[in-house]
Amino acid sequence: AELKVGDWIQIERKDSSFQQEITSMEIDHQQFQRCDKGLAAIKVDQKVKNDDKIFAVRKMDEITFRNRI
């Protein structure tokens, strides 16, 4: 799945989680606006460990939301 600057991610730890917007993304110290998963370094506000899990947070429009409940 593709990620881009402006997307939101959720980082889940063993005992907590947080969400944040992607504001900076780099591959080999070069800035990129989008990339495939697993390739980029993403600047985050909190410390992330190797065993933390990172998920893309996708917006759902109102019609799709209503159909899912």
For the stretch 8-59, pLDDT in tens is 999 999 999 999 999 999 989 999 999 886 778 999 999 999 999 998 888 7
Integer angstrom CA distances of residue 57 from 4, 6, 7, 33, 60: 12, 11, 7, 17, 10
Residue that wins the pLDDT comparison between 62 and 34: 34
Give the integer Cα–Cα distance in Å for 55 and 11.
6
Query: Given phi > 0 = left and psi -120 to 50 = alpha, else beta, which region is 29?
Result: left
pTM for the full predicted model: 0.75
Model confidence at 60, in pLDDT bands (50, 70, 90)?
low
Determine contact, residues 41/25, Cβ cutoff 8 Å: yes
Tokens 């109102």 belong to which residue? 62
pLDDT for the residue numbered 19: 92
